[in-house]
Amino acid sequence: MENPFGKIIGLEEVMNFFHDGMTLMFGGFGGVGSPPSLIEGILEKGVQGLTLIGNDTGFPHIGIGKIVSRGRARKVIASHIGSNPVAGQLMHEGKLEVEFSPQGILAERIRAGGVGLPAILSDIGMDNEMVSKNKPRYVLNGKEYLVETALTAEVSIVYAKKADVYGNLIYDKSARNTNPLVAMAGGITIAEVEEIVPLGRLEADEIITPGVFVDYVISSQGVNWKWAWE
């Protein structure tokens, strides 16, 4: 039966999409812009063995860092982990695999995954083993490039300021960092939002992520959102 409230469902329902060993992509930068209720739900469910894809590993007690610091991830693909010393410790102990990708290249790999490209070419980090290790190379017009594979995930989780029942999203300031790209690259994209507004309340030119990229919306406030259909 079609959901009469569009894409809006409860936190308990979306938890069915999270399972051990899955690939999970998350939005945000240093914990800002990462969905807190979804992250807490994943922790409470006890999901482990995750492959995480996102800009960084947050802080030990902020953002995605909570999942990393509790040993729930087996691998992280990120631009850096320096703000989370627990992630560094786990990496050095061999308990966490880390694939480093320069920040701009990481964003472009995610974008490529979202638009259906298999890979991009880049000359960034070719002389850095941490970036270039085990990556194929390709010569184009006489110049050599690294082949950077596109990134996608089983589920993408993002955080937004506002949404309507169709999943159109507006972000707040720096919380916009990586979220629009991450929203595009998930097999299923779940948005946690601060406010759900009725249809027509969002101006078309202020929408950053069109609802076509969003499968489900949950409220971070835990309030009755059913009026939003009216």
Q: Has residue 143 been placed in a domain?
A: no
Q: Has residue 141 been placed in a domain?
A: no
- CA gap 172, 175 in Å, rounded: 5
| Number of structural domains found in the chain | 1
Q: Has residue 3 been placed in a domain?
A: no
3-state DSSP assignment of residue 137: strand
Q: Has residue 100 been placed in a domain?
A: yes
Per-residue pLDDT at 115: 96
Q: Has residue 126 been placed in a domain?
A: no
Per-residue pLDDT at 146: 96
CATH code at position 187: 3.40.1080.10
Alpha-carbon 37 to chain mean position: 14
- Greatest CA separation for the chain: 60
**Token pair of 103, please?**
């920040």
Per-residue pLDDT at 33: 92
Q: Has residue 183 been placed in a domain?
A: yes
- CA gap 147, 137 in Å, rounded: 6
Q: Has residue 211 been placed in a domain?
A: yes
Q: Has residue 59 been placed in a domain?
A: yes
| Cβ atoms 112, 120 nearer than 8 A | yes
Segments forming the whole domain that contains residue 65: 11-120+150-229
Per-residue pLDDT at 185: 98
Per-residue pLDDT at 4: 53
Q: What is the pLDDT along the chain (230 residues), one digit of tens a residue?
A: 345 567 999 999 999 999 999 999 999 998 899 999 999 999 999 999 999 999 999 999 999 999 999 999 999 999 999 999 999 999 999 999 999 999 999 999 999 999 999 999 999 999 988 888 889 999 999 999 999 999 999 999 999 999 999 999 999 998 899 999 999 999 999 999 999 999 889 999 999 999 999 999 999 876 555 555 55
